[in-house]
Amino acid sequence: MTHGIDGLLQPFERDKIKLRNRFVMAPMTREASPGGVPGADVAEYYRRRAAGGVALIVSEGSFIPHPASGWSASIPSLEGARAAEGWSRVLDAVHAEGAAMYCQLWHQGAARDDLPITRHPGVRSVSPSGVGPDGSPTGDCLSQGAIETLVDAYVRGARFAREVGFDGIELHGAHGYLLDQFMWERTNRRTDAYADPLRFPTEVVRAVRSVLEPDFPIVYRFSQWKPHHYDVRTASEPAVLERLVLGLESAGVDAFHPSTRRFWEPAFPEVDSETTLAGWTRRFTQLPIIAVGSVGLDQVFMDSPVARAARVTNLDLLVACFERGDFDLIAVGRALLSDPEWVNKHASGQMAGIEPYHPRFADNLL
């Protein structure tokens, strides 16, 4: 057994979140739900990870009920009777194994145009300012009325998630998608009230919070990096991050999920050579924090134009960050794609039996 892993295996209970241990399955797009409907294979995929020891599963990003929310017709939807039936099967399977499951609400914004569109291909994408990071035209600039429609779509997605039986929701505000596009000065060039990077995200949080029970958790996922822009920062310095965290907490967020490519790297090395993005977030809030980023693997998810295989590593560095208080929960991604029993194997000292990650696992629903 990795030294000190016992702490990560202890139950977690704070405010609205109660879990059997500290391990979370990170959200990972599977694109295996034709017509937006999760099938029996999707239910079994999630069931195996729940049986493998994780305490909480955050679903793959699922499209809120808005025609331009995403590119693929095979990504799960948060609207309609058939999608509700599919998600109910998934949740029954996960709950039967003793795990909780949160639904990740997703809108890609202008990033929808980066891939072949099979979901509502005749609908134009939307973005805060109608431009991409390089200033080129990307997506229709959102009017006030269109923004109000989007807020309502988040509300309807949240209601859907609650009604089908999810235990909480996560708002995907990371990785250059719609909420993050409002947070980034390269994609938000507005001159109205929405020039404030927090205006739209906090409106969404407040609206969603207002229709959910007080004890129903809202997690907010954010990141510094964007696809193809791995070194940029949404928060240029700690003071900017503090405003982001406190603003979202005030709006009604119950936990934060700061997403990094490597959980152990310092967020602001020019200020502090050790403190991670999760650690900095902890400085500004006492809300639960989920860290993530290449857990248990020796390669980040993309070091080159193509994904690469990664060898299994021990959890000593993870334990060190946990013990100094950087985070409360840890999300595991690719390691769980390759080995659904990853948590149980670490817990029982079977690290030598863990399946190494290979890119083939990214394409299979196993």
Which token pair is 293?
């980023």
Q: Catalytic positions, please?
A: 177
Name the DSSP class of 275: -
Partner residues linked to 329 by β-bridges: 290
CA 214 to CA 177: how far, in whole Å?
Answer: 27
Q: What is the C-alpha separation between 246 and 254, in angstroms, rounded?
A: 11
Q: Specify the pairing of strand 17-19 against strand 12-14.
A: antiparallel
Beta strands 140-141 and 126-127, pairing class: parallel
Is the Cβ–Cβ distance between 320 and 358 less than 8 Å? no
Q: What angle do CA 119, 168, 332 make, to 5 degrees?
A: 80
Q: Where are the alpha helices (DSSP H) in the chain?
A: 40-51, 81-96, 144-164, 178-183, 199-211, 238-251, 277-284, 316-323, 334-338, 342-347
Cβ within 8 Å of residue 301, ≥6 positions away: 261, 294, 307, 333, 334
| H or E segment to which residue 54 belongs | none
Which candidate, 216, 247, 273, 291, places its Cα nearest to that of 23?
291
CA distances from 93 to 42, 86, 321 (A): 10, 11, 32
Please enumerate in sequence order all residues whose Cβ is within 8 A of that of 295, keeping only pairs 6 or more positions apart, or say none. Answer: 263, 315, 318, 330, 331, 332, 333, 335
